[in-house]
Chains A and B, each alone.
Chain A
Amino acid sequence: MSKILMKGNEAIAEAAIRSGCRLYFAYPITPQSELIEYMAKMMPKVKGTFIQAESEVAAINMVYGAAGSGKRVMTSSSSPGISLKMEGLSYIAGAELPCVVVNVQRGGPGLGDIQPAQGDYFQATKGGGHGDYRLIVLAPSSVQEFADMASEAFDLADKYRNPVMILADGMLGQMMEPVEFKPAKTDAELQELANQHLSWCICPNEDGAKKHHHEINSLELDPQVLEQHVLGLLKKYAEIQKNEIRYETYNISDENEVLCVAWGTASRVVKSAINEVQKQGKSVGLIRPIRVWPYPYEAIKQVIGKNVKKVYVFELNSGQMVEDVKIAVEGKVPVDFWGKVGGVVFTPAEIKEKLEECF
């Protein structure tokens, strides 16, 4: 298939449908509205269900219900709308249901603005909703990667019966880049995917013979029983941490004097700056977590070579992922942070200047 020039919001929607998403519930919000628009247009064509819910709270609870069927379910929103979904996400994580949530982040707090930001890192990776639960969080940095993460997210959600968040931002949503799609899943493949959930999901007794009773719930009033349930979740999260860490290295070598860590959109700008300072003979490497939970602590620790004098974290927030970098670095070298807040995106020139100051 040839490349198509497409907005990130449209690319993720198309890729989700191709990955077998036939159930989508959402409420419009800038800068992710092209996503819901695309779903509204395309879902009927694949005999899927599109509902524009009356609110984000309603949409996530429709996801909760629909995910109980074991089918591939998705919702999407932008920062303030994602906050509204947090209660539902905690329920879904507690009830161990697979689903995909896309957050096209904008500037906050509150209603904030509609420009690109990364201020929802804490919310996505450390909780947001209540209780001991985790989301698997994928952090794309290009339109192609955004699209590729659709099938990845659904696979992870199915595998671990856990909600998966794709944490993008307004720039990735609004930007057009060439994208190449994987072939759409066939009906037979979708049936096979749904069949893996027959042991627990709510589904009609088509044969009429065997009656089954499956219960989906996040309430358990007996603390001993709830304890066992949560311990089970923690075991699952440990398994995810063991298997599912993904990161990209850029320009990493033993000569690196500065190691940058950046994710998503911010990492693109940092790469440009690294290319520029490299021309001056200054060696700077980059680690980009492709998934921000589970987090690549070990990779960052390993890559701090003998010459690294400083680790520099750049984010479009006031310093959130930098806390995970500090956990990884364990105080061995200084960790510095620079960022922009309020939906202002730093430029390659600004990052270049920050890197030059290190030498």
Chain B
Amino acid sequence: MTTEMICAGFGGQGVLTIGKFIAQAAMQEGKNVSWLPSYGPEMRGGTANVSTVVSTEPIASPIVSFPDVLVALNQPSIDKFAPSIRPGGLLIYNTNMCPRGCKREDITKIAVPMNDIASEIGSMIVLNMVATGVVIGKTDIIKYETLEGNLTSFMQEKNPDLLTKNLAAIKRGIEIAKQYT
């Protein structure tokens, strides 16, 4: 069982972190993982993306041609990567920054106003955790408990308020995803 995921958005929206948290948790759950970021000049004000592969088998190529899951936090990410989503695959996108959306009918689309939700929770920087929650709620790529454990040990001392907001964002994402099953 292999899940190939691309997360993409503007530099600063936290797309690399979505991939990292998922890869980290999947590794702890005993899966093989790879995390391959875009790097270079395109990240300044342009788009950043990361290919994350989670598999029960050894991972051959960390480069993803046809993602099973695309997380798009802005419209350019949909324009660039949505055409290559595997038929039957999953697109999770941020409606606040994707005015045109995606026209494909052969994939599952979960449209989430991530900016609105993040600002309701009280911090724009948890926008990426809303997206992470949707991924967890819709796929079985990782367990929520593993991620919660990691975030808690990472943030509880340093910034308990931010931890609460992150976990709230993930839970909102999971709730939204459940409406699509």
Give residues in A with beta carbon < 8 Å to B: 3, 5, 30-31, 113-115, 170-171, 174-178, 268-269, 271-273, 275, 345, 347-350
Contacts and interface: CB of A to CB of B under 8 A. Distances in A.
B22 to A, nearest CB: 11
A345 B33 contact: no
A271 B62 contact: no
Interface string B16-50: 00001001100100001111110111000000000
Given A113-B40, A114-B40, A271 B34 contact: no
Nearest to B41: A114
Which has the most chain B C-beta neighbours within 10 Å: A5, A175, A176, A347?
A176
B24 to A, nearest CB: 5
Contact of A5 (B24, B60, B63): B24
A278 to B, nearest CB: 11
A178 B32 CA distance: 8
A24 B60 CA distance: 32
Contact of A268 (B20, B24, B32, B60): B60
Contacts of A177: 33-35, 59, 62
A268 B37 CA distance: 16
19 contacts: A5-B20, A30-B39, A113-B40, A170-B39, A171-B36, A174-B37, A176-B23, A176-B34, A176-B36, A177-B33, A178-B27, A178-B32, A178-B33, A268-B61, A269-B60, A269-B63, A271-B60, A347-B63, A348-B61
Nearest to A267: B60
Top 8 A-B pairs ranked by shortest CB distance?
A271-B60, A272-B61, A272-B60, A176-B35, A349-B65, A347-B65, A269-B61, A175-B36
Contact of A176 (B20, B32, B41): B20
B66 A349 contact: yes
A113 B39 CA distance: 11
A268 B27 contact: no
B35 A175 contact: yes
B39 A3 contact: no
A95 to B, nearest CB: 37
Nearest to A268: B61
B23 A5 contact: yes
A278 B20 CA distance: 31
Which has the most chain A C-beta neighbours within 10 Å: B35, B37, B59?
B35
Interface in B99-139: none
B154 to A, nearest CB: 13
A268 B60 CA distance: 5
A268 B63 CA distance: 9
Nearest to A269: B61
A35 to B, nearest CB: 14
B34 A175 contact: yes
Contacts of A175: 34-37, 62
A175 B64 CA distance: 13
Nearest to A4: B27
Contacts of A5: 20, 23-24, 27, 33, 35
Contacts of A268: 60-63
Contact of A345 (B23, B60, B63, B66): B63
Contacts of B60: 268-269, 271-272, 275, 348
Contacts of B34: 175-177
Contacts of A345: 63
B129 to A, nearest CB: 18
Contacts of B65: 347-350
B150 to A, nearest CB: 11
Contacts of A170: 39
A270 B129 CA distance: 34
Contacts of A3: 27
A193 B36 CA distance: 36
A30 B23 CA distance: 24
A83 B20 CA distance: 34
B63 A174 contact: no
Nearest to A141: B60
A166 to B, nearest CB: 19
A36 to B, nearest CB: 16
Interface in B136-178: none
A345 B33 CA distance: 20
Contacts of A30: 39-40
B61 A174 contact: no
